[in-house]
Structure 1
Amino acid sequence: MTTAAQHPVRHVDVEHAPVSRAEDPATPGAGTVPDTVGAPARLRLAYREAGDPAAPVLLLLHALGESSLSWDPLLDDLAALGYRVLAPDARGHGESERPGQYSYELMTADTLAFCATLGITAAGGLAIVGHSMGAVTAALVTTALNAASPAAAEADATDATMAPVTRLVLEDAAPPRPGGPRFEPFDEPDHPVPFDWPLVNALRAQRGDPDPAWWDDALRIEAPVLVVAGGPTSNVDQADLAELTDGVAHGRLVEIRVGHMVHDEAPDEFLAVVTDFLRR
């Protein structure tokens, strides 16, 4: 791996149709988005970039509480594979705006709008690597762009100029499904954190009560899928990762036994596995 200096942060303004989610009456305010029918949602997103702007795009989506900085050490190595590598900060994270409204639907719509704004077209091609929260978003973006679910129409992503996903890497995460564990809200810490704290409990509530279509649609993904599992010390149910791998049309599971933060704890091994997958 290279040890290049940190890549500069860039910014882009994106806009997409409003996205809303019904409120759970049992937990008012958890994981909900206020009714925003009318004006489009506008958001300034930060991102880092490496590689040839004319090359196929590799999109890197980070974990909850992280930012594009977590991918920074890998950008040049991944760009050397022949990609334009783009690593955005999700809403509420890093240097992106903190609008106070958080859901996986919104993050999916943000990512689709980010791709559209940066001109990622069908002719160029698109691969996605997502870690944890970013893996869930990556799966939802894939099903939207590959027209595997009604999310495509909802997110206004059926434009033929948008790129379908050709390769998908899920790092130690899979879309949640009904019947999984419920997550109790965390208390807000008494010290500053580098992200907008309300997003934590909003997304945890959704993981405990997910849309059933998330899992079902993920199983319909036809693009090759690599699942990188963190092994027995991870806090993620590894059986779910194996089941998703077995359920998709072209799935491959690789275990790197370092826990949930795979590309942080074993960057060289992670890079080797992802490189092999992207080159197949």
Structure 2
Amino acid sequence: MDASQANPTAFATADGLSLAIDVHHAEGAPTLLFAHGFGQTRGAWNAAARTLAARGYRCVAFDSRGHGESDRAPGGDYHMQQFVDDLLAIAHAQPEPPILVGASMGGLLGLVTAGEVRPAPFRALVLVDITPRWETAGVERILAFMQAHPDGFASYAEAAEQIAAYLPQRRERKSEQQLRPLLREGADGRLRWHWDPALLAGDLISESERYQPRLFAAAANVEVPMLLLSGERSDVVSHHTVEEFLALAPHARHAEVPGATHMLAGDANDAFTAAIAGFIESLESAGDTAKPSAMRC
């Protein structure tokens, strides 16, 4: 198998769920563990994982519980600590402490895990367009898209049209092949998004903001090197939230990707992967010693 191709497998959680996992590249290479955002799947990392695997890294990406091909929680019971525990268990299952690359929700889970667990489960942490405090308007936009079509779609073309409207910066519409992992066909023949609808129950804005004190404390307690990658056009991360995060974690580095939105990896994969590779190479040359820095990709 080509080193950049995925080897699908599964991971059993402590409470008996099965999480879908892709592993790119051979054993023994430095490990990057990718954690996706809320409402995404491990497929969001496909292009980045292939690129970085071709550069010699072992890339592991998984579907969080309730997302993609991973099991849904019985009774729709989801709590932040379950996601943290899953991430920690997967990190501990790797042959060495991985470098975590976490987007949005995945980044927040990484912050909590890296800030609260000792010894550190990660060698380093890359946060993808997320900070302990976020811009509410951007999160509301994401949730509005996720909640917009509870009855699903009659065809893949209809779903592609909605994604194109949500991501106008993307030039190409998703094909049926690209959409198949993102949709499930119900008994009524309708196509619905891959996530468990129970994930969207309740007031998610208020619920998520309730965790912010924990996130601030965790960010201030992270000891491993960190890189924050933000999109120039992001509506979730702003200059204010970046400055606030860097004050909490002064050893962290920050890089802004020109033209990218919150969907940074999909908008600018070349710049995204180059920034990650550069960060890792700097760790190698510095012996994993974190140094304050600001960069622009």
Structure with max Cα Rg: 2
1:18-37 alignment, distance < 5 Å: none
Over the residues paired in the alignment, what is the CA RMSD in angstroms? 2.7
- The answer to whether the Cα contact below 8 Å between 2:33 and 2:91 also exists between their aligned partners in 1 is no
Q: Which whole-Å deviations, capped at 9, do the CAs of 1:36-64 have from their partners, x for residues lacking one?
A: xxxxx221100111122223321100111
Q: TM-score, normalised by structure 2?
A: 0.70
1:45 to 12, 19, 34: 19
1:96 to 67, 70, 79: 70
Paired residue type of 1:190: D
- The answer to whether the Cα contact below 8 Å between 2:4 and 2:24 also exists between their aligned partners in 1 is no
Q: Aligned pair in 2 of structure 1 residues 248, 233: CA closer, same or farther (>3 Å)? A: closer
Q: Percent identity?
A: 29
Distance (whole Å) between structure 1 residues aligned to residue 97 and residue 209 of structure 2: 33
Quote how far apart the aligned CAs of 1:204 are. 3.9
Unmatched segments (≥5 aa) in structure 2? 153-191, 283-297
2:50 to 71, 76, 94: 76
Equivalent in the alignment of 1:260: 262
Q: Which whole-Å deviations, capped at 9, do the CAs of 1:152-198 have from their partners, x for residues lacking one?
A: xxxxxxxx6xx632211111102348xx8598886562211111122
Q: Aligned pair in 2 of structure 1 residues 217, 109: CA closer, same or farther (>3 Å)? A: same
Paired residue type of 1:223: V
- The answer to whether the Cα contact below 8 Å between 1:224 and 1:249 also exists between their aligned partners in 2 is no
- The answer to whether the Cα contact below 8 Å between 1:222 and 1:249 also exists between their aligned partners in 2 is no
Distance (whole Å) between structure 2 residues aligned to residue 213 and residue 64 of structure 1: 19
Distance (whole Å) between structure 2 residues aligned to residue 57 and residue 170 of structure 1: 16
1:97-112 alignment, distance < 5 Å: 97-99=71-73, 100-112=76-88
1:49-68 alignment, distance < 5 Å: 49-68=23-42
Paired residue type of 2:12: D
Equivalent in the alignment of 1:114: 90
Q: Aligned pair in 2 of structure 1 residues 176, 275: CA closer, same or farther (>3 Å)? A: same
The structure carrying a bigger helix percent of its residues is 2
Distance (whole Å) between structure 2 residues aligned to residue 233 and residue 50 of structure 1: 29
Q: Which whole-Å deviations, capped at 9, do the CAs of 1:188-221 have from their partners, x for residues lacking one?
A: 6221111112213465443222251221221221
Q: Aligned pair in 2 of structure 1 residues 69, 253: CA closer, same or farther (>3 Å)? A: same
Unmatched segments (≥5 aa) in structure 1? 16-40, 148-159
Equivalent in the alignment of 1:235: 236
Q: TM-score, normalised by structure 1?
A: 0.74
Indicate yes or no: 2:128 matched with 1:171.
yes
Equivalent in the alignment of 1:27: none
Distance (whole Å) between structure 2 residues aligned to residue 79 and residue 214 of structure 1: 31
Equivalent in the alignment of 2:11: 12
Equivalent in the alignment of 1:25: none
Distance (whole Å) between structure 1 residues aligned to residue 4 and residue 114 of structure 2: 31
Q: Does the residue aligned with 1:9 lie in a helix, a strand or coil?
A: strand
Q: Does the residue aligned with 2:40 lie in a helix, a strand or coil?
A: coil
1:145-160 alignment, distance < 5 Å: 145=117, 147=118
